Every structure is written in C-alpha cells, then in structure tokens.
Amino acid sequence: MITIDAAGMHYKELNRLIREGIEKGIRKFFLENVNGQYYIGDGIKGDDVVININGIPGNDLGAFMDGPTLIANNNVQDNVGNTMNAGKILIKGDAGDVVGYGMRGGKIYILGNAGYRVGIHMKGYNEQLPIIIIGGKVGSFFAEYMAGGIIVLLGLNDSDEFDSEYFASGMHGGTIYLRKKIDFSKYSKDVELYEADENDMNFLKKYLIDYTDSFNISSEEITAKPFYKIVPSSARPYAHLYTSA
Amino acid sequence: MFRIKNKFNAERDISGCGLCGIINAKKVKTNGGDIKRAISVEHDRGNGLGGGFAVYGNYPDYAELYAFHIMYDNLPAKADVEEYLKNNFIIEKEEPIPTFRTSKIYDHPYLHRYFIKPKSDRPDKLFHELGDDDFVVNSVMLINQNYDGAYVFSSGKNMGAFKGVGYPEDIADFYKLEEIEGYMWTAHNRFPTNTPGWWGGAHPFTLLDWSIVHNGEISSYGINKRYLEMYKYNLALRTDTEVITYILDLLIRKHKLPVRLALTVLASPFYQKIDKMDDDKKELFTALRQIYGSALLNGPFAIVFGYSNGMVAMNDRIKLRPLVAAAMGDFTYVASEEAAIRAVCPSPDIVWSPKAGEPVIVEFEEKNIPQKGGLISL
C-alpha cells in the first residue's frame, strides 16, 4: 500500500509513481489532493491493483486500462475509460463528457450524472462485454454509434428530466437498459424499445447488485421497477444511405 | 519584430485551448492571483504560444476614459500612432504598461497604455457625427489596419486585456497581475494549430468593453467575415475569435439586441427544435435565423464573453468543447476543466455542466442568481 500526495504534481510524475509502484508489486494506491492530473491509470495492467483517488482526476482517467480498479471519490472530468479494455472504474460523483468512448471491456459505474456522448462507439466481442451503469441522467448523443456492450441508465435523481437529444443515433449493436419509460418516437429511428423480460432481468440483476454493492446503496429500490430495453433495429443502419435497398 | 499582427499566410487560425472566468456579481474585487492559479491547472491545454487575461474594474480612477493598450514593434510606429491619438483624443494619462521581465517572458513588443477620450472638435466631425464609441471603434480599426507595427489590443473603459506569447501563468507574472484588482476576470491558454504564436493573436480579443476568450474553431469564419465587412469591421487578424467579438459588438451595441437574443444568434437552435416551439417563439427564432443567418457560428466552440454588465459562458450547439461552471456565494466560475475551478474554490455550492448552446449569464446586480443554463424564457 502506498499513499501519494498529488498536490501540485504534474501528471507525468504521478503516473510514473503509479507505474513504478505496480512494477514493484504494490497493489493498493491512495492518491490524495488530485486536481486535474490527466491520464491516471492509463494502460495499466493487474486485476488486483486498486487505486483510490481523492480530488478531481483530469481527463482520460483509466484510458486503455486493462484490469485494475479505480475508485474516484469525487467528480471526474472528460473521457473516462477511453478505449478501456478491462477493469473497473467507480465514480462517486458526476462524470464529464465522452464516458467510455470506444470502450471494449470492463465496467464503469457512475453514481451521479454523466455528460454528453456517453458510450459513444462502445463495442463488444465474444466474451468482451463492456458495461456502463449511470445512476443519474445523461446528456445528448447518448450511445451514439454504439456497437456492443451494455449501458444501463437508472435515472435515480431528477428522474423526471430526460431531455437529451440524439439518443442512440446510429446504434447498431449492444443493449441499453432504462429504468424509466420514455416516449421513444422522439429519440431515434435506429432503435427499438421493449419491456425487459425475465431473462433480461436475470442477466441485469448481477450487474445491478454489483453496482449497488460498489456504492453501498440499497439494491431493492433499483431492481424493483420494471426496466425497458433498447436494441438496434439493424446491425447496419446506414447500409443503404447512398444506395437503394 | 514581435509578430503583433498576422503576417502569416493562413486563411484563418484555429486552435485548441483552455479557458477560465471568474465573476463576482456584487463587484467585490480580487487580484489576479486566483485566475492565474485556475488557468495554470489547464497548463497542458496550451503550448506556450499564447496566454492572456481580461480584467474588469481595474481602472476605477479613469473609469470614464477609454483605456487603450497598444503593442508596438518599433518606436517610429509609436510616434505615428501617438500623432493620431493627439489629433483626435484628449490624452489624460499615458504610460508604459507595467511589466516584469521573467526568465519565461523576456522578449516582447513595446507595451504602452493611454487613458483617453475623443475630442469634441476632432477632424472627422467635418464629415459625420459619430458617437464616442463608434469613433473609438473606427480608430481601433484604422490603427490596426493602417499603422504598421502597431496594434491596439484593448480599448474599453475600466477594463483591460493583458496578453502575449507564453503560457498564461508566465504572462500573468509578466504583467504583474497579482497587483491588479478586478471584479471579473477571464483567462486563456492557447494551443494554436495552424499558425505560429504571435502577440496580437493571443486571447482575449477585445473591442470597447467586449472581450472574448475562445476554445474551438469557427468553421463559418468566411461567411461571418464577409458579413462583418459589410458593416466596416476590419478583420485584421484573420482569426476566428476576432469574428466573435465583432459579431457581438454589431448585434448588441449597434443593433441593440438584448444579450440573450444575441447569443441565440451565435448558437441558434436547430430548425427541428424551432419547429417544436410555441408560435410566438417560433416566429422570433425563425426571424433571427433569417436575418442573422450570416452571424451564426458553426463549428466547435466554448467561449467566455465579458462585457461591462457581466459575463457569459457558452458552448456550440452540440457541445463539442468542454465547459464547466460552479457558483460559491456571489462568485461564479467557469472553466474548461472542473479542476481549474477547484484550484481556487475547493468546495463550491454547486457545480454543473452547461448544456449545449445554452448560455450561463451572470450580470452585476444586487440580487443576482447565476442562470443555470436553462431554457431561455423570453
């Protein structure tokens, strides 16, 4: 275990200390006074590595990460989990824009809200199944061009407000689960809305419980309500953009 | 030569950047230390080729006079410009802008400031009857276009721009901003991508009391430029940020649009959104789009816009550049990154992300509440 005081430290130095620590066999990191340092946990490996972050981590938190767990105790900035491959990022506050861009594995759990372009171009392949669960609400361009994986939008706070635009436009793979029914005709022509069935709920439950356990919140309220499921209507929504069918 | 004007062969200049703004709605003043600390957190958003600040409330003793900040490449240019100023303005005071050469900023143009007001019997009165503001705008355009080696980079009342080539925290030290006090500050860290850095090209861009710091690129530059040229604005710098400053001057000062409406011209709602509005609003927004189509800004941007009554922070219509806001008592903070705000205000009352195209407006007033980027009610 190691505690690093990141006050005034440049991201290069902070990330060097983390990488060298992992190489030396340290498995638990406590980062204090983080404020805006970019690239924390980028590309690091090690399923048993846990990095606890106090303060506001900078952009690209956990980009390309491949196994470890990052716990952000406050808000985070943009591009969390960019192209992340494996591991887990827990965010106890709000997340900025472009969460999980091109993400291809691992989990991002957000207790608060997330910004614009969550899960844009997220993808899955065989056993690789990226998962994003958002407790609050999201901005526009949610799941744009989504190609695989799972995104769950719980809408726990401000649950009446769902005013993002360009919802799931160009989505052609993966599944979105919503805890709130929305007037879907307003949002996207590329996807279809269903009520989640028992199979869906059984599948979802283990992730929801993992989510609530991670944040120490009650799972009953969350799993009680029926969920809605959004899937793409086509694997190639733009196949005939320029040609006739 | 310190490159105070754009002599580069580039149609326009685009850049990625960082920005910050701090305003106290009750006009309580702070020195430049806070804004310097905030923007220095965004150090890596720039590359040392441009940093700058605008401050409001810094010249209370000369609040009724236009404060001209001018950069000179050479002393003959200074003599020529001063000749023009003497013929047309009453110069109450003039002095070098106080600077402190640091190891980072040691190479700079000659920087001078003048507190002036247009003469009532100035020569141009023979031809037309211009108001003082209009005459000042004409003079700024004239100097920037016709006086080689001179560039007016600030011309407002009780406000000033301080900028140059360097990282913003070094520019802050160079201009000794910790000794300057103001109730509103904006800052910019520049990462020019299409041209080298040059002194005049640093942000903020100002004209009269308007100041703009900008992160992004305006792809509608060509249309906006031609539109402004019809109204005799001279776009000497060929940068997209200059365009925003002049559009706001045109819409708000000349055409007397309320600030809110002017902003909906810059980031107009899409027609599909206008179609869903009530009839009154639909008519208004359709009219604005039709009349001011050429003033619409296309492309990704986040701007912080300062004026004598307050500050506006705004994104493009689909939020392609970052912008975060926070409030703590009478202070409102905006920045490209939350960490910049936390550096000077560790525990704000609220932190929020403004929605695309919906401005955060804070005006100086007694009971001021920052508007949380909600739907504009007209």
Asked if B343's CB is within 8 angstroms of A36's CB, the reply is yes
Contact flag B324-A96 (C-beta cutoff 8 Å): yes
Kindly report the backbone phi and psi dihedral angles of residue B224, in degrees, each rounded to the nearest multiple of 5, phi listed first. -60, -40
Chain A residues in contact with B356 (beta carbon < 8 A)? 116, 139-140
Higher pLDDT among residues B57 and B2, named by residue: B57
CB atoms within 10 A of CB B333: 28
Residue B123 lies in a domain: yes
The alpha-carbon gap from B94 to the nearest alpha carbon of chain A, in Å, equals 40
Please name which of B295, B294, B297, B300 lies closest in space to residue B217, comparing C-alpha atoms: B300
For B257, residues 6+ apart whose C-beta sits below 8 A from its C-beta are B251, B265
Mutate to test the interface with B, among A10, A32, A34, A35 (most CBs of B within 10 A): A35
Q: Which residue of A has its CA nearest to B276?
A: A186
Q: How far is the CA of B15 from the CAs of A36, B219, B226, B313, B321, in angstroms?
A: 21, 12, 21, 18, 12
Residue of B40, B353, B358, B372 to mutate when probing chain A, most A C-beta within 10 A: B353
Listed residue (B201, B210, B212, B203) closest to B237, CA to CA: B201
Query: What residues of B are in contact with residue A142 (Cβ under 8 Å)?
Result: none
What is residue A128's DSSP assignment?
A: B
Structure tokens belonging to residue A40: 């924390």
Minimal CA–CA distance to B210: which of B137, B279, B290, B106?
B137
Report how far residue B262's alpha carbon sits from residue B288's, in angstroms, rounded to the nearest whole number.
9
**Are A232 and A173 within 8 A, CB to CB?**
yes
Q: What is the second-level CATH architecture of the domain A94-232?
A: 3 Solenoid (2.160)
Measured between CB atoms, does B42 come within 8 Å of chain A? Answer: yes
Q: Which residues, in sequence order, are CB contacts of B113 under 8 Å at separation 6+?
A: B67, B68, B69, B70, B94, B95, B96, B97, B154, B160
In this model, does residue A186 exceed pLDDT 90?
no
In a domain, B103, yes or no: yes
For all residues of chain A together, what is the average pLDDT? 92
pLDDT tens figures, A42-82: 999 999 999 999 999 999 999 999 999 999 999 999 999 99
**In angstroms, rounded to a whole number, what is the distance separating the alpha carbons of residues B116 and A28?**
63
Of B41, B322, B351, the CB nearest to A97: B322
Q: Is B41 on the interface with A (CB under 8 A)?
A: yes
Mutation target among B20, B272, B324, B358 for the A interface, most CBs of A within 10 A? B324
When pLDDT is averaged across residues A126-149 and rounded to a whole number, the result is 94
B322 Cβ under 8 Å from any chain A Cβ: yes
CA distance B323 to chain A (A): 10
What is the C-alpha to C-alpha distance for residues A49 and A130, in angstroms, rounded to an integer? 19
Q: For chain B, what is the domain count? A: 1
Q: Within 13 A of B62's CA, how many CA atoms are on the CB side? A: 23
User: Between the CA of residue B8 and those of B97, B195, B272, what are the distances in Å?
Assistant: 27, 7, 40
Interface TM-score (ipTM) > 0.85: yes
pLDDT in tens, A191-231: 888 999 999 999 999 999 999 999 999 988 888 778 999 99
pLDDT of B286-339, one tens digit each? Answer: 999 999 999 999 999 999 999 999 999 999 999 999 999 999 999 999 999 999
- Rounded Cα distance between B120 and B105, Å, is 40
Assigned token pair, A183: 């007037």
Question: Does residue B1 sit within a domain?
Answer: no
Q: Is B17 a catalytic residue?
A: yes
Over pLDDT 90: what percentage of chain A?
A: 76
- Supply the CATH number for residue B38's domain: 3.60.20.10
Is A140–B342 a contact, with Cβ atoms under 8 angstroms apart?
no
Residue B7 lies inside a defined structural domain of this protein: no
Predicted local distance difference test score (pLDDT) of residue B3: 62
Amino acid at B43: H
A141 to chain B: closest CA residue: B318
Which residue range(s) make up the domain with B159? 15-363
Structural domain spans, chain A: 94-232
Cβ proximity of B198 and B4 under 8 Å: yes
Is there a domain that residue B378 lies in? no
Task: Kindly list the distances between the CA atom of residue A96 and the CA atoms of A62, A155, B68, in Å, as whole numbers in the listed order.
Answer: 14, 16, 40
- A115 contacts on B by Cβ (under 8 Å): 319, 353
B2 lies in a domain? no
pTM: 0.92
CB-count burial class (<10 Å; 0-12, 13-18, 19+) for B127: exposed
